[in-house]
Amino acid sequence: MSHDAILAACGLDRDRITGGTLAVTTPVDGSEIARVPVTDRSGAEAAIARAATAFEVWRQVPAPRRGELVRLLGEELRREKENLGRLVTLECGKILQEGLGEVQEMIDICDFAVGLSRQLYGLTIASERPGHAMRESWHPLGVVGIITAFNFPAAPWSWNAAIALVCGDPVIAKPSEKTPLTQLAIQEICDRALAAFGDAPEGLIQTLIGGPELGEALTASPDVALVSATGSVPMGKAVAGDMSKRLGKTILELGGNNAMIVAPSADLEMAVRAIVFSAVGTAGQRCTSLRRLIVHEDIYDELVPRLVKVYEGLAIGSPLENGILVGPLIDAAAFDAMQAALDTARAEGGTVHGGGRAMGETYPDAAYATPAIVELPAQGEIMRQETFAPILYVVKYREIGDAIRIQNDVPQGLSSCIFSTDVRETELFLSAQGSDCGIANVNIGPSGAEIGGAFGGEKETGGGRESGSDAWRAYMRRQTSTVNYSTELPLAQGISFEI
Ligand code: NAD
């Protein structure tokens, strides 16, 4: 399929996505595929005002009816899975299987949110006073701004939007300036769901197109109750700083530096598959990509050469083609950052396997790289940084306690895992003395989470949680109510106050 045909299949006709000032290039071949008009500051403020008005109406709609809108959205997404998945691939370069996976994740979270729309439950709490009842209720919060990163242009919007919508909140998307087209296509899909729904207020689901300044428009406005931001640690610190000035709420989903411990008892067949998928998937540009491998010294000489061999045979190429496992990096700057990290690793005593340019003759304007394995004598500075590229650093360990210490000794705390069949080790890894990450897996790689669990991480990853479990509470405000149905007015703590 041509690039234009992929765009047109998602309702993005040429005249809609040309003539603007934001150039969009596809990482597949480096060619420009669109020049989209950007939203200016006054456009952003008008959108926020529309959303604030929509909130007045939407918060009164019964939650299960709000769920009906999300059900319709899920149906539209099912119909559009193929088209939208291909657009994700064209725009951010992940292989088609992963592009489709992202849309499936959107469908899954819609299903979850529809069920949730009938379970936004509170609590009844024992009151210390006779004839009193105490309860906790959850009410809609307000407008939710959703800032997203280039590497997941579709799914994180839906983790936030599907939940926020059933919770009674209007949503405003601010996708990455590198991948605005996927969000424009999602907005089209939402508009169809809204039309089928019938009586949703105008401004319930909107999109702002442009750079960080539009994210800043969301963080600056007191009419935006919550900003959920997915992206780099520096971006998260900027958003947190801006929001704290007005004590607004945030959910921060920031960078990861994810590790796997491979113990002597591990099933190496399974470990190799998990390592390769999680280290080279999305060309190492997932927040949950495997970046650090901590291997027991007894199996190091068996595992590492085997990985190097698998890496040498990886199918690298256009992510739109079947059978390809590694697509391009997002742009030349990402390739340069990868090379700089590899140079630093060499300077730290690392032995680098792979890591050079790939597909240079076929796509001279694109940024394909051969995934790299770097054997390091110990975890140094470069291994503590998140380089958004397919680099897998490998170090040895002898004692499980040391392996856990290495795993935790980084600023980020998103995802982690252990491959072991020794229950003492796996339970230690999951215990309070174990992994300090928001996600800790056993005999599964660190990437590819399901939507049923709460997703997010600790430390510089930002502490936010999205998606399943009780993450919905962040999109609502909590209200504690005490009701007196007696004929007395006793005060709490037995305080006497006679007038
Ligand atoms: P980025 O931080 O450059 O940009 C992310 C978004 O933030 C973009 O939409 C950008 O316009 C916006 N932005 C930037 N500065 C801003 C500011 N000061 N105020 C408001 N908005 C601002 O990130 P990226 O390069 O697109 O994505 C890669 C990063 O995202 C990696 O670090 C990756 O680990 C992280 N990520 C995290 C998760 C997660 O769930 N934890 C998921 C995906 C990506």
- How close is the Cα of 404 to the center of ligand 1, in Å? 28
Q: How many residues does the chain have?
A: 499
Catalytic status, residue 253: yes
Q: Residue 262's pLDDT band (boundaries 50, 70, 90)?
A: very high
Mutate to test the pocket of ligand 1, among 41, 94, 151, 172 (most ligand atoms within 8 A of CB): 151
Residue 75: which pLDDT band, with cuts at 50, 70 and 90?
Answer: very high
Cα 237 to ligand 1 centroid, rounded to whole Å: 11
CA of 26 to the centre of ligand 1 (A): 19
Q: What pLDDT score was predicted for residue 42?
A: 97
| Structural domains of the chain sorted by starting position, each given as residue range(s) with its CATH number in brackets | 3-254+462-481 (3.40.605.10), 258-442 (3.40.309.10)
For residues 283 and 27, give the distance between their C-alpha atoms in angstroms, rounded to a whole number: 12
Neighbours of 349 (CB within 10 A): 11
Give the DSSP letter string of 181-240: HHHHHHHHHHHHHHHHH--PPTTSEEE--SSHHHHHHHHH-TTEEEEEEES-HHHHHHHH
User: Which pTM value belongs to this model?
Assistant: 0.98
Q: Whose CA is closest to atom 13 on ligand 1?
A: 212
Identify the active-site residue in 102, 105, 253, 375.
253
pLDDT tens digits for range 372-387: 999 999 999 999 999 9
Q: What is the mean pLDDT of residues 439-447?
A: 98
Residue-level pLDDT at 338: 98
Ligand 1 — pocket residues by CB below 6 A? 147-152, 156, 174, 176-177, 211-212, 215-216, 219, 230-232, 235, 238-239, 253-256, 287, 386, 388, 414, 461
Rg (CA), the chain: 24
Residue nearest to atom 12 of ligand 1 (CA): 212
Largest CA distance in the chain: 90
Residue 235 confidence (pLDDT): 98
* CA dihedral sign, ordered 158, 159, 161, 162: positive
Residues 431-453: what's their mean pLDDT?
A: 97
Q: How far is the C-alpha of 421 from the C-alpha of 455, rounded, in Å?
A: 25
- Provide, rounded to the nearest whole percent, the portion of the chain with pLDDT above 90: 99
Instruction: State the pLDDT at residue 275.
Output: 98
Protein residue closest via CA to atom 36 of ligand 1: 231
Which of ligand 1's atoms lies nearest the C-alpha of 239? 19
| pLDDT tens column, 30-49 | 999 999 999 999 999 999 99
pLDDT at 298: 98
- Tell me how far the alpha carbon of residue 235 lies from the centroid of ligand 1, in angstroms: 6
Tell me what pLDDT residue 36 has. Answer: 97
Q: Report which DSSP code applies to 316.
A: B
**What is the pLDDT at residue 80?**
98
Tell me how far apart the alpha carbons of residues 151 and 471 are, in angstroms, rounded to a whole number. Answer: 22
**Per-residue buried b or exposed e for 55-74, using 16+ beta carbons within 10 Å of the residue's own CB:** beebbebebeebbbbbbbbb
Residue tagged 């539009």 (tokens): 214
For the CA of 175, the closest atom of ligand 1 is 9
ipTM of the complex: 0.98
Model confidence band, residue 270 (pLDDT cutoffs 50, 70, 90):
very high
What value does the mean pLDDT take over residues 253-266? Answer: 98
Determine the average pLDDT of the residues in 2-12. Answer: 96
Q: Compute the mean pLDDT over every residue in the chain, rounded to the nearest whole number.
A: 98
Mean pLDDT (whole number) for 194-199: 97
**What's the pLDDT score for residue 373?**
98
Asked whether 23 and 35 are in contact (CB, 8 A), the reply is yes
Mean pLDDT of 252-279: 98
Distance CA(65)–CA(486), nearest Å, equals: 36
- 440: three-class secondary structure by DSSP: strand
pLDDT at 325: 97
Average pLDDT, integer, range 139-167: 98
Model confidence band, residue 69 (pLDDT cutoffs 50, 70, 90): very high
pLDDT value, residue 341: 98
User: What's at 467, amino acid-wise?
Assistant: S
The torsion of the CA quartet 74, 77, 79, 82, rounded to 10 degrees, works out to -150
Please give the distance, rounded to the nearest whole angstrom, from the Cα atom of residue 194 to the centre of ligand 1.
28
What is the DSSP secondary structure assignment for residue 367, as one 8-state letter? B
